[in-house]
Structure 1
Amino acid sequence: MRTHPFDLFAIDGLLTDEEREIQRTVRTMGERELRPRVAQWFEDGAIPARELARELGKLGVLGMHLEGYGCAGTSALSYGLACLELEAVDSGLRSLVSVQGSLTMYAIWKYGSEEHKQEWLPGMAAGEKIGCFGLTEPDAGSDPGSMRTTARRDGSDWILNGTKMWITNGSVADVAVVWARTDEGVRGFVVPTDAPGFSAPEIKRKLSLRASVTSELVLEDVRLPAGAVLPSARGLSGPLGCLNEARFGIVFGALGAARDCLETAISYVGDRTVFGRALASYQLTQQKLADMTLELGKGMLLALQLGRLKDEGRLTPEQISLGKLNNVREAIAIARECRTLLGANGITLEYPVIRHANNLESVLTYEGTSEVHTLVIGKALTGEGAFR
């Protein structure tokens, strides 16, 4: 008789009935509708983004932790569990949901005008409109304060010029939230992607997050009306607040990829015969499984604690850094170790392990690299900033 890794930590007993039901619903949809197709999407390097957005909108996970405007208004922890189940299928699918809800929709919901919210949020919650978030630039990733994109006033209008890079959903988006330097400091702008001067060429030849649309955003004298600016966001605190929302989802999401790898490995070693015995019966195999289960369970306990703190309004950026640093680092280690248990089969798309491992290489560095989160934690512990 096999015990599931999470059962050793009695994880289900830490969730409410509603949280368990949301998790089951997302997992069922993922297993039935997404998993059968995701390996082909990864191999092709292309996804049916609009179809997926509508499916995920019907599921209710787009902006699910936001209130009003067609959003479900669930707890943050429930949103985290949904991210876990989506990333158990593929990190690219969780990225679509995360960028839509935790970055673009959250920016409009938190910092936008009522007109922005009414125009965009209902359609985005339904998956009828897709959004992207333009912060990262070719030379400004971990240091967004060095961005070169500018917005200058021209009468009552704004003129935007610049380039953004590694933008999820960019080529299929209907709206982009773009951050730019102005005479007033960094400001955010709601940019319809059909605006003259806006283009979003897709980035190809990726070996990670292949089941995801990744793009460059190019803004060449994009003219926007005065009302395009996000009125309640000034300075870097605006985009950084959005990033913390997305990082929270990653704390849970990375565990989904790790869980799927571990479940796959446990099943595989039970069926695989080596030297006349099941691979699962060897001590080294069991040591690997036990070590991975320990790290997965510890990561889940950390995620649940952070989720409770977020729902109580007590979660700090430093705590999010703890979760992102630990859970992604352990998830990628689990994926790599599981690959060894599958041997040569571990490098094929017949199994999800190498796909998860490749995806987690991106998750390790986006929304804040491990190095940046390490320094955030170090500053909290010492009171000394070591970024420069």
Structure 2
Amino acid sequence: MTLTDDARTEASARPAPPEPFYTEDHEAYRETVREFLKREVLPNYEAWEEARLIDRTAWLAAGEAGMVGLAIPEEYGGAGELDRRYRMVFSEEIARANTTSFGVGLGLQDDIITPYFLHIGTEDQKQRFLPGLASAELIGAVAMTEPGTGSDLQGIRTSAVRDGDDWILNGQKTFISSGIQADFAIVVARTDPDAGSRGFSLFLVETGTPGFERGRKLDKVGIIGQDTAELFFRDVRVPAENVMGEIGGGMGYLMQNLPLERLGIAMASLAGAEAALEWTLDYVYQRRAFGQRIGDFQNTRFELAEIETEVDVARAYLERAILKFNAGVLTTVEASKAKWYISELQQRVVYRCQQLFGGYGFMLEYPIGRAYRDARIQTIYGGTTEIMKEIIGRAQAARYRD
């Protein structure tokens, strides 16, 4: 069969097929992550979950293997790699290995802690903290949420009052990820009660500073191996060199960094949904009931067909969002859409997949049981689904202002 001249012209006029999302370098990194998890994490993960704490040696091993600090410039000990596709590869392998607690801790370092130093840190602060973050010898936390405030950041009551060149910090924080092990916390405090959104600032408070105390290790529903704590600040003296950015710029810095945090949650959510689908497909085509494989029942096929389609559609949006972030053009609204939709999708996927496991789905020895437990937080932290919709809705309303 030969093509006519018209057919050849039409074929040559078609756009080239899209390039694969991942390159050979990303796939090589995947093998490195997979081998690291197999060697350093999986043999110890159950013990960490029981202790409700990831062992410090695992953090150091992650630093040595290049699992953290990808975006940190080489002069500070990092890889200087800004391509977020590598973080997506990491999220996918964490989900497949069902080691969410470990992934959340490292994600906090790369997606939340490190950007503050990269964007607003002084050279002295970068020299003091970035090498330790790159090697995972230092663990950081962001002390933002307070009892009674939740997503209402403007309700923060922790205060910082100037005393000469220093600041005196007083207040309480809760739900602080890595709060038990953190070597320092980036603390959000009110520095001017009359300045509205310009009345908040960020302070670096290091472990051992008098008046800085950790409360109890909080007992969570899921991701139980990742430590979460209450923090207390009683007349904590913070030197001027530990102020991050400008006084009064705290709220703006938080808003600047939240899109990356929300993109990271969306990435982990999609990876979790895809892993749940993989486990379920394997299960339903091995398990038999009423004389046939569970996967051969029409209801099972319809359920899994819907799930796979929804996951594939979500991946298309997320891949575009990641590439836009790489290009520096991802908006807050786009990140909010990815966060709320994909985290809610993960809830639906895990729930429906667990149902297909029957009674075994309720057993933690099956990966879907732990995934069901660990997935629940995704629609809550980093800004609840309701807050994401409010952000999107406000942007819509702004387009129709007189």
For normalisation by structure 2, the TM-score amounts to: 0.88
How far did residue 303 of structure 1 move?
1.4
- What is the rounded CA distance, in whole Å, between the counterparts of 2:314 and 2:341 in structure 1? 7
How far did residue 36 of structure 1 move?
4.5
CA separation of 1:258/1:40 partners in 2, compared to 1, >3 Å: closer, same or farther? farther
Q: Residue 55 of structure 2 aligns to which amino acid in structure 1?
A: A
Q: Residue 292 of structure 1 aligns to which amino acid in structure 2?
A: I
1:182 counterpart residue number = 191
Q: Which of 320, 342, 353 in structure 2 is aligned with 1:327?
A: 342
How far did residue 12 of structure 1 move?
9.1
- What is the rounded CA distance, in whole Å, between the counterparts of 2:221 and 2:18 in structure 1? 34
CA separation of 1:203/1:224 partners in 2, compared to 1, >3 Å: closer, same or farther? same
Q: Which has the larger radius of gyration?
A: 2
- What RMSD, in angstroms, separates the aligned Cα atoms of the two structures? 2.1
- What is the rounded CA distance, in whole Å, between the counterparts of 1:380 and 1:26 in structure 2? 38
1:211 aligned onto 2:225: yes
- What is the rounded CA distance, in whole Å, between the counterparts of 1:330 and 1:254 in structure 2? 8
How is 1:107-118 mapped onto 2 (pairs within 5 angstroms)?
Answer: 107-118=116-127
2:104 counterpart residue number = 95
CA separation of 1:40/1:257 partners in 2, compared to 1, >3 Å: closer, same or farther? farther
How far did residue 96 of structure 1 move?
0.4
- What is the rounded CA distance, in whole Å, between the counterparts of 1:23 and 1:249 in structure 2? 17
1:149 counterpart residue number = 158
Whether contact under 8 Å (1:131, 1:176) holds in the other structure is: yes
- What is the rounded CA distance, in whole Å, between the counterparts of 1:11 and 1:224 in structure 2? 52
1:73 counterpart residue number = 80
1:290 counterpart residue number = 305
Q: Residue 370 of structure 2 aligns to which amino acid in structure 1?
A: R
Aligned positions, number: 375
For normalisation by structure 1, the TM-score amounts to: 0.91
- What is the rounded CA distance, in whole Å, between the counterparts of 2:37 and 2:178 in structure 1? 20
- What is the rounded CA distance, in whole Å, between the counterparts of 1:139 and 1:175 in structure 2? 24
CA separation of 1:115/1:257 partners in 2, compared to 1, >3 Å: closer, same or farther? same
How is 1:347-358 mapped onto 2 (pairs within 5 angstroms)?
Answer: 347-358=362-373
1:59 aligned onto 2:59: no
* SS of corresponding position for 2:217: coil
Cα deviation 1:84-120 (Å, max 9, x = unaligned): 3224423322220122122222212211111111111
1:123 counterpart residue number = 132
- What is the rounded CA distance, in whole Å, between the counterparts of 1:37 and 1:11 in structure 2? 41
Whether contact under 8 Å (1:167, 1:214) holds in the other structure is: yes
Whether contact under 8 Å (1:104, 1:132) holds in the other structure is: yes
1:200 counterpart residue number = 214
- Quick check: 216-225 or 23-32, which moved more? 23-32
Unaligned runs of 5+ in 1: 1-9
How far did residue 313 of structure 1 move?
0.9
Q: Residue 380 of structure 2 aligns to which amino acid in structure 1?
A: T
2:22 counterpart residue number = 15
Q: Residue 87 of structure 2 aligns to which amino acid in structure 1?
A: Y
Unaligned runs of 5+ in 2: 1-16, 193-197
- Quick check: 44-53 or 188-197, which moved more? 44-53
1:372 counterpart residue number = 387
1:30 counterpart residue number = 37
Q: Which of 215, 222, 239 in structure 2 is aligned with 1:225?
A: 239
- What is the rounded CA distance, in whole Å, between the counterparts of 1:251 and 1:21 in structure 2? 23
1:269 aligned onto 2:284: yes
Q: Which has the higher contact order (CA 8 A, sep 6+)?
A: 1
Whether contact under 8 Å (1:111, 1:231) holds in the other structure is: yes
- What is the rounded CA distance, in whole Å, between the counterparts of 1:207 and 1:126 in structure 2? 30
* SS of corresponding position for 2:203: strand
Whether contact under 8 Å (1:159, 1:224) holds in the other structure is: yes
Identity of matched residues, %? 31
* SS of corresponding position for 1:133: strand
How far did residue 190 of structure 1 move?
1.0
Whether contact under 8 Å (2:54, 2:102) holds in the other structure is: no
